[in-house]
């Protein structure tokens, strides 16, 4: 790790300069935070699982024609991605009411929304990522109207695609958060999906039992946090040898995930 220049350390990931210009290495940590850093902890093996889950979902999203920053997975905790200029928005899609929309609008958690709703939040930890409207976004030039059209269209397509993919493995995609970035290729700028898609930034509920299979287990002290992340990976067919009843990042052959 000393070989490379660290560009940025976030709550769940570290970014290093990549081997070639225009590339970055994303390192996935086990660190977990909630409430904008108010609650801190470690979810053992989370980085390994999120690296694999995000790789899987980014590749699938790429296959339906949506450009992403993902290039390839390098090892258990790292992936190579394109350098992007992050658009300073968190794009949240909601299918079922949960979390902040339930609190803000008094909608009981679990209520199916009349249609999928997209919300935009400004990426600014000091301000606690406030919700913003497209009026704010265009007035302050955080993204152009053309970029917003593209982001919104990509977001709804990703939601339709992922909702179906997860329903096929018995999981309801309740809501999730996306980030987008700008890349320049052949003197042209375009928008690509960036960051990660994992149980850290999605709400996944088991269709049968309603059990939460995401970071809400950590946020709300529900226990079995690692197991929930493992279960999502197992259902996606990642680490098929993994048994969901295992209580740590050991696989059924007794080896730690890091050694696979």
Range 106-110 contact pairs with CB under 8 angstroms and sequence separation of 24 or more:
110/210
Is 54 a binding residue for ligand TMP by CB under 6 A? The answer is no
For residue 254, the minimal CB distance to ligand TMP (Å) is 33
SS3 196: coil
| Residue 131 contacts residue 67 (beta carbons within 8 Å) | no
Pick from 30, 55, 78, 129 the residue near ligand TMP by CB under 6 A: 129
String of DSSP letters for 138-176 = HHTTSS-HHHHHHHHHHHHHHHHHHHHHHHTTTEEEEEE
Contact pick of 62, 67, 88, 99 for ligand TMP (by CB under 6 A): 99
The 8-class DSSP code of residue 10 comes to -
Please tell me whether residue 43 binds ligand TMP under the rule CB under 6 A.
Answer: no
Between 69 and 242, name the residue whose CB sits nearer to ligand TMP: 69
> Could you say which of 15, 132, 137, 202 contacts ligand TMP (CB under 6 A)?
202
- Residue 205 β-bridge partners: 172, 212
Q: Name the packing angle between helices 225-235 and 46-63 (round to 10°).
A: 30
Among 23, 100, 116, 138, binds ligand TMP (CB under 6 A): 100
What three-state secondary structure class fits 160? helix
Q: Which is nearer to ligand TMP, 30 or 129 (CB)?
A: 129
Q: How far is the CB of 177 from ligand TMP (least distance, A)?
A: 3
Binding mask 146-185 for ligand TMP (x = CB under 6 A): -----------------------------xxx--------
Can residue 235 be called a binding residue for ligand TMP (CB under 6 A)?
A: no
- Whichever of 98 and 158 has its CB closer to ligand TMP, that residue is 98
Q: Minimal CB distance to ligand TMP: which residue?
A: 99
Handedness of CA 218, 222, 226, 230 (dihedral sign): negative
Cα–Cα separations (whole angstroms), residue 25 to 7, 9, 12, 66, 89 = 10, 12, 14, 21, 21
Shortest Å, Cβ 29 to ligand TMP: 15
Binding flag, residue 16, ligand TMP (CB under 6 A) = no
Residue 108 CB neighbours (<10 A): 8
| Contacts to ligand TMP by CB under 6 A | 90, 92, 98-101, 129, 175-177, 201-203
């Amino acid at each position: 790790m000393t070989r490379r220049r660290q560009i940025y350390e976030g709550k769940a990931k570290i970014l290093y300069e990549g081997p070639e210009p225009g590339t970055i290495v994303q390192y996935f940590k086990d660190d977990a935070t909630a409430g904008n850093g108010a609650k801190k902890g470690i979810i053992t093996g989370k980085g390994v699982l999120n690296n694999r889950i995000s790789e899987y979902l980014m590749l699938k999203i790429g296959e339906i024609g949506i450009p992403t920053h993902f290039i390839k997975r390098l090892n258990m905790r790292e992936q190579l991605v394109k350098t992007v200029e992050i658009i300073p928005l968190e794009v949240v899609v909601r299918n079922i009411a949960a979390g902040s929309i339930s609190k803000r609008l008094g909608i009981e958690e679990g209520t199916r929304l009349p249609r999928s709703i997209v919300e935009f939040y400004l990426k600014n930890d000091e301000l606690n990522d406030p919700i913003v409207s497209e009026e704010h976004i265009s007035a302050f030039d955080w993204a152009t109207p053309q970029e917003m059209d593209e982001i919104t269209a990509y977001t709804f397509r990703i939601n339709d695609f992922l909702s179906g993919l997860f329903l096929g493995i018995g999981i309801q995609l309740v809501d999730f958060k996306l980030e987008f970035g700008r890349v320049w290729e052949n003197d042209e700028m375009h928008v690509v999906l960036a960051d990660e898609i994992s149980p850290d930034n999605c709400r996944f509920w088991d269709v049968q039992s309603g059990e939460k299979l995401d970071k809400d287990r950590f946020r709300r002290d529900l226990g079995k946090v690692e197991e929930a992340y493992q279960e999502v990976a197992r259902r996606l067919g990642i680490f098929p040898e993994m048994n969901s009843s295992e209580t740590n990042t050991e696989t059924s052959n007794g080896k730690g995930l890091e050694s696979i």
